[in-house]
Structures are given as structure tokens and as C-alpha cells.
Structure 1
Amino acid sequence: MSSVPFHGRRAAIAFIFVTAVLDIVAMGIVIPVLPQLIEQFTGSNARAGEINGLFVALWALMQFVASPVIGSLSDRYGRRPVILLSTAGLACDYLLMALAPNLWWLALGRMIAGVTSASFTTVYAYMADITPQEGRARAYGLIGAAFSGGFVLGPLLGGVLGEISPRAPFWAAAVLSGLAFLYGLFILPESLPQERRMAFAWRRANPFGSLRLLRSHPELSGLAIVNFLLYFAHHVFSAVFVLYAGYRYGWSAWEVGVLLALVGVLDMLTQGVLVGRVVKRLGDRATMVVGLFGGALGIAVMGLAPTGMWFTLAMLPNALWGLAMPTLQSLMTQRVSESEQGQLQGTNMSVASIAGVVSPLFFGWIYAQSVGAAPALPTPGAPFLIASLVLLAAALLGWAVARQAGRHDGDGPAATTDSAAV
């Protein structure tokens, strides 16, 4: 494990939680207002859906390029400098978007945000450094809970500030990212000792070369496809949710912020409280599959919900989705060596980023075809129904991968004892 002493690990974990909350609050603040700002520039709800999907795709494209580079740099130079530089970059980027005079400047801001947000790969690698393998699902669940806590505060604050001005949330996000940088500058210890660092090589750091890691260990390729499908479905929210909620239910920025805060509360409870208990009872793999099936059910109900109340109630089964993400991360980290954790997280982020490029463009286009005077699709909930089918496919594949892993348990470098749990 890490050479960070016990008291240092406590400070490091505290920093990861605080930084995660501050960073996600900063990201969540702009969610209720960015699509509306785009709509002000375009003058069309349908057109705003397409542009917002394009912006999310640009953000993901930059993550695809930057994530393996950042992950490999953290394997070479340590986690601390990478996290600090990325956090400072986020603060500068939010200032740029607060001052953006047109869509081109907003697009540039989203691209820079994709690069700086790629530091989340290093956060997960940091936790792998300081956490034993058997505790990683719970540790990743706690990180997810911290992220969710940020999403509770962020959209609420963004909804309030958005009533003042669409630009105000961006200024607040810049301040919060700056605070995260200053906090880490004085608190964060390094987690990766010199003897466990790996030389930087472009053949591993480029986004396509990094994907070779997925073929080098049993089970990783199948889990990577599950990861791709999970993120593909998840981007339906970032691509169309705000516009959909206003179009179908007439919700304001404040109401959207409240609902996103509710999502954050449920996800925080799921990842912070349920993950550890369910994994202890069922194992990592079975917990992952249960989470994927629950998410598929919840998002299907969202697409069919005739009223805002039904949509809100659908958040309950959808919250089980939070069981899948940390257990999937845990299963993958157990299949590579300690010196490859940063590379793995960069590769995972690249896979997620590929989904992030194609998914928002796809769902933005689907949304544009399902609203307006003469929609080509029969219901504005079509994006959510399609996302539900994608998540159902992820659940079935996860179940199949779990069965195969049960037959080959012991082949990987760090096989776990819960392989037969499904």
C-alpha cells in the first residue's frame, strides 16, 4: 500500500473528500444555467439541445485525449502535482466561461474544462494507493458519496444564483475551484512513493495506446464495455435533462436545481451507506449487476412519466445505479498491478470519454427529433427510454462477465473471493 503514514492518510482522505465536494459543487452550479445560456445565444429550445449535446461531447473528447496522459503523468511524477494543477486550471476556466461573449468562447471553456476535469482519474488512483484491495469498493463508494454531496449543493446554489444572472454561477464555480486548490496546496500529502513510480511513455499515455491495458488482463475488456454502456446511458442527463424538464414539465432553473439536489442526496446515500453493506453481503459483481438493473428500471419510468411527480418518484429505483459505479471500479483495480493504477484510471476515463463524445451528440439529436411543431419521434421521453435499453444491455453483459469471471477466478494478479457471488 502507500508509504503515507496513518495520520497522513487521514489528511489525504479528508482532502479527497473536500476537494471532490468543492469540484463537483463547482461543476454542479453551472448545470441548471448552461443550457439556458446556450438557448439565449441560439434562440431555440431544440437547437439548444443539439448545441448542449455538442458541448458535452467536446468536453468528453478532451477528456478522452487528456485522461491517459494525466493518469500516466501521475504514475511518473506523483498524484499531488497533477491534482493541484488541474484544480487551478478549473478555476481559470470558470472565469473564462463567466466572461464568454458568445458560443465560441463557451465551447473553448468546455474544452479546457474537459482537460482539467481529467484529474478525476488521479483522484481514483490516489485512493487505490492508500486503500487495500478489499476496501476499495467502499472507498470508491465514499468518493462517489462526496461527489453526490457536491451535486446536492451545486445545483441548488446554481439554481439560486441563476435567478440572479446566468453568469453568476460561473463566478461562484471559479471561487470554489480556487478554494480547492489552496486547500490542497497546504494539506495534500503525496501518496505514490518513488520506488513505485513508472517511467512515462507515450505508447501508454496516448488514448489509443492506453486501451491496450484492457486486453492485458482477464475480465478487463468485458468490464470496460460495461463501463462504456453505463456512461453512454448516463449522459442523457447532461445532454437533455434541463431542456426536457422545462419543455415537458415547465420547471424553472430553481426547480431543476432542487431535483438535481435530490438526485445527489439519493446517490450520496446509495454510495456512502449502501455500497459497503451490499458488497459485504453479495460481493462486488452481484452488487454491480443489481445496480445496473435498478438504474435501467428507474430511467425507463422517467421516460414514460406523465407528470413531474412521477419523474421524481422514478429517482428512487434509479438511485440503485450508484451501486454499479464503485463496484465496477473496484473490480477493475483488482485486476492490475499497483504501478498501473494511474494508467488504468486514465484508460477508464478514456472509455468513459468515448461514450461522452458520442452519447450527448446522439441524445441531443434524439431530443431534437422528439420535440417541436412536428416531432419525428412519438414522445419527448424517447432519449430516456433509449438510455434505459442501453443500461439494460450493460446489466446483462455485466451478469455474463461475472459468470465467466467465476470460472477463471485466480487468473488475474489480484483475484477476489467474491467472483462466484453472481
Structure 2
Amino acid sequence: MLSKEQAAPESPLSSGGLFHQPKAVWAVAFACVISFMGLGLVDPILPAIASKLQATPSQVALLFSSYNLITGLAMLITGVTSSRIGPKWTMLAGMLIIVVFSALGGSAGSIWQIVWLRGGWGLGNALFIATALSAIVGLSSGGTAKAIILYEAALGLGISVGPLLGGELGSISWRGPFFGVSVLMAIGFISVMVLMPKVPKPKVRGTLKDPFRALKYPGLLTLAVTALLYNFGFFTLMAYTPFVMNLDEHGLGYVFFGWGVMLAITSVFAAPKLLNRFGTIRSMMAMLTLFAADLLIMGWFTSSKTTVILAVILAGVFLGINNTLITTAVMLAAPVERSTASAAYSFVRFLGGAVGSWLAGKLAEWFNPHVPFYFGALVVFCGVLIIYARRRYLEHIDGAEAGH
């Protein structure tokens, strides 16, 4: 399943329909929806957690920091684990860890307990995400690009539906969404256990050195650093905007539902059209530039609730397109196994999320509520400059796509 690929991409127009997939792919995609619902479920209750547990925004943001930090570090062991116990059992182990730690998070009595428990949640997330992406790509019909679109659609669906459920559960108690994630992931665990057949282990066992060796390829390194930088903006939006919109749990749920819907729609329908017309690299640069501009608008009009709400929803357009484009590019950037490329890339990008979510809250405390958005916009635009400066290392991606 996870054989070594020599950067030979399939275009989004490859044979096979997007929705004509094996049963195993749908089982993993369903679990992905539930996994990403976990992110959206928690977001509407961030202000409530701060209020109930007497925590500052930067302390609450540590829920994202510990989650992202452990997820990033754990990405280094996903290949080792998957090659020894197999992709299916690696995913199941990750899902079980999420079930346990999300339930413990709902039982926590302090902000610091939740921060530590979110780190355990991140371990499960790493084992699941890295393996799920490579499994969908490896098992799907219709080409790599269509498989990634399906993965991004699952991501968008989970992120969009999650806030609605999180808002409802959060209006009852801030603990509700944590228990909700635990129950939903338990359902996902059962679906993968029953529906997904046993997948053969890779013929070559992975090592801890594999992700670092993969980052020696300049194309993959360029994409990883770019993702690290734009994650500063992404988690400024996720971890900080709930504190400036001044909405209750229901209101935040509706806003992030709109954001997730835009992300899901554009990742499936808009990204392939832009890729075919303008190429992956040019489209990525355009979307990241527009996202940086969107953050800039949030910074300028932070005191306008309406403007921030509309800007958050609009950000879903740019992030949905970019997520599909950059994930596709990562799968094709280096002649390594897909799971190794995913692990190496995710290790770097999640570190950006770990720092960015905490730093957004601290910048607001140190300066004023506008600064986190300005800083996020600047860092995201630096990612655009890196792509432009190192575009020669990415030219083979568009060149190969044009040849198919």
C-alpha cells in the first residue's frame, strides 16, 4: 500500500471518480471527519474555559500549543510504528488514545491539567493523521490528487460540523465538547476496526531518521517551512479570534461552522480548478497572500465584530484551497514514501502551530488586541516569499502535473 513513490503525480483529472472509492477509504475518511470535529468542537468553548477556570487567553491557547507540540514530535515515530504494527493498528492506537485523553480532559479541574492532557491527545492525533492520509492516498482509486481532495473534504466537513455540536454541548457545560470528542472518536474506532481490512505492513521498516532524511530534499523542506509559517496565521485565527468576537458558545459555533463550510467547499471544488489553470505553486502563493491580507484586515478592524466575523469565514476560502494544494505538493515533492513525507512535513508545520497559538495571546497581553493579527499576517507573507525564493525546487511538481 505504502510503496515508495518517485514523485510521479496524478492530476486531478486522472481516471476514476472522486466518490468511487473502496470501502476501506470511506472507513478512514469517516474517521477523519470525526477526528477533525475534535478541533472544531473545542473552539467555541475557549472563552468559557478561560472564564470558568480563571485563565488568560494565552493560557487557554496552550491547549493548542501542547496539542501541536506533541503532535509534531510524535510525527517522528509514526513511520516506525506503522511499519512494525501496520497502518490499521497504528490508526486504531491513535484513535484509542484520543478517546481516553479527551474524556480525561472533560474531567479536568484546572487549565494546566487540560494542557497536559491535550498533549496526550496530540500523541493520538499524530498516530492517526499521518497514517490516515497515507492510507487514503495508497488505497484510493482515481489518483493521488483526488484522494487528497477527499481527505481535505473530510477535514473541512469535520471542522465545519464540529463547532455546531461544540456550541450546543458547550452551552450546557464547557466539559461537554471534550466528552463529545471521546464518544465520536469511539464510534470512529469501531468503524475502522470493522470496515477497514487488514493492510499489509510496508516491506521496509521505518526508522527515526527517515523524516529528517526526507527533509534533505529541498522541495519538501520548502513546503514544510512554508506550512510552519502559515500555521502562525492559522492558529491565530483558531486560538485568538474567539476572544475578540465577543460571542457566546452558540455564536462562535455558527461562525466557525461558516468558516469550515467555506474550507470544505473550496478544498474540493475550487482547488482543482486553480491547480489546473495556474499550477500548484502560483495558486499557493496567491492564496497565502490573500490569507495574509485577510489577517491584516482583522488587525485593522479588530474592534468591529462584524468585520472580524466576515473575515474569519472568508479565511476558510483561502485556507481550504491552500490546504489541498500544499498537501498535494507534499505528496509529490520528494522521492520518499508518502507516509514519510507526511510525517516530515507535519513535524515541522505543527511546531508553528505550537508557538503561534500561544504567541497570539501573549502579543495581545504585551501590546494590544490588534498586534496578533498583524504579526500573523507578516509571518504568513514570509511564507509566500520563501516559496518565491525557492520556487526552482518546486518546479518539478507543476511540470509533472502538466505532463499528465
Whether these two folds match at TM > 0.5 is: yes
Cα distance in 2 for residues equivalent to 1:220 and 1:161? 40
Sequence identity of aligned pairs in percent? 22
Structure 2 matches for 1:199-214, cutoff 5 A? Answer: 199-204=205-210, 210-214=211-215
Aligned to 1:81: 89
Aligned to 1:223: 223
Aligned to 1:235: 235
Cα distance in 2 for residues equivalent to 1:295 and 1:394? 11
How far is 1:81 from its partner? Answer: 0.7
Q: Is the Cα–Cα contact under 8 Å of residues 79 and 206 in structure 2 kept in the other structure?
A: no
* 1:255-280 Cα distance to aligned partner (Å, 9 max, x none): 11100000001001110111122212
How far is 1:253 from its partner? Answer: 1.3
Structure 2 matches for 1:22-421, cutoff 5 A? Answer: 22-42=34-54, 47-118=55-126, 119-131=128-140, 135-191=143-199, 193-194=200-201, 196-204=202-210, 210-215=211-216, 217-246=217-246, 251-305=247-301, 306-314=303-311, 315-316=313-314, 319-337=317-335, 340-369=337-366, 376-377=367-368, 380-406=369-395, 409=396, 416-418=399-401
TM-score normalised by L of structure 1: 0.84
Cα distance in 2 for residues equivalent to 1:361 and 1:419? 41
Q: Is the Cα–Cα contact under 8 Å of residues 97 and 170 in structure 1 kept in the other structure?
A: yes
Cα distance in 2 for residues equivalent to 1:110 and 1:9? 33
Q: Is the Cα–Cα contact under 8 Å of residues 240 and 367 in structure 1 kept in the other structure?
A: no
Cα distance in 2 for residues equivalent to 1:395 and 1:140? 22
Aligned to 1:372: none
How far is 1:125 from its partner? Answer: 1.4
How far is 1:74 from its partner? Answer: 1.7
Q: Is the Cα–Cα contact under 8 Å of residues 333 and 394 in structure 2 kept in the other structure?
A: no
Q: Is the Cα–Cα contact under 8 Å of residues 44 and 252 in structure 2 kept in the other structure?
A: yes
How far is 1:37 from its partner? Answer: 1.7
Q: Structure 1 residues 75, 279: CA separation in 2 closer, same or farther (over 3 Å shift)?
A: farther
Q: Is the Cα–Cα contact under 8 Å of residues 31 and 192 in structure 2 kept in the other structure?
A: yes
- Structure 2, gaps ≥5 residues long: 4-15
Q: Structure 1 residues 162, 416: CA separation in 2 closer, same or farther (over 3 Å shift)?
A: same
Instruction: Report the AA paired with residue 86 of structure 1.
Output: G
Cα distance in 1 for residues equivalent to 2:224 and 2:273? 25
Cα distance in 2 for residues equivalent to 1:342 and 1:138? 17
Q: Is the Cα–Cα contact under 8 Å of residues 76 and 208 in structure 2 kept in the other structure?
A: no
* 1:230-274 Cα distance to aligned partner (Å, 9 max, x none): 21221112331222222xxxx111111100000001001110111
How far is 1:178 from its partner? Answer: 0.5
CA RMSD of superposed structures (Å) = 2.6
- Structure 1, gaps ≥5 residues long: 205-209, 370-375
Cα distance in 1 for residues equivalent to 2:271 and 2:398? 20
Aligned to 1:373: none
Q: Is the Cα–Cα contact under 8 Å of residues 292 and 395 in structure 1 kept in the other structure?
A: yes
Cα distance in 1 for residues equivalent to 2:393 and 2:82? 33
Cα distance in 2 for residues equivalent to 1:142 and 1:120? 14
Cα distance in 2 for residues equivalent to 1:131 and 1:283? 23
How far is 1:180 from its partner? Answer: 0.4
Q: Is the Cα–Cα contact under 8 Å of residues 37 and 166 in structure 1 kept in the other structure?
A: yes
DSSP 3-state at the match of 1:417: helix
Q: Is the Cα–Cα contact under 8 Å of residues 280 and 398 in structure 2 kept in the other structure?
A: no
Cα distance in 2 for residues equivalent to 1:137 and 1:296? 26
DSSP 3-state at the match of 1:189: coil
Q: Is the Cα–Cα contact under 8 Å of residues 137 and 275 in structure 1 kept in the other structure?
A: no
DSSP 3-state at the match of 1:219: helix
* 1:178-207 Cα distance to aligned partner (Å, 9 max, x none): 00000111011345x44x432133333xxx
Instruction: Report the AA paired with residue 316 of structure 1.
Output: L
Instruction: Report the AA paired with residue 323 of structure 2.
Output: M
* 1:201-233 Cα distance to aligned partner (Å, 9 max, x none): 3333xxxxx333211x24222222112112122
Instruction: Report the AA paired with residue 304 of structure 2.
Output: T
Instruction: Report the AA paired with residue 305 of structure 2.
Output: G
Q: Structure 1 residues 415, 144: CA separation in 2 closer, same or farther (over 3 Å shift)?
A: closer
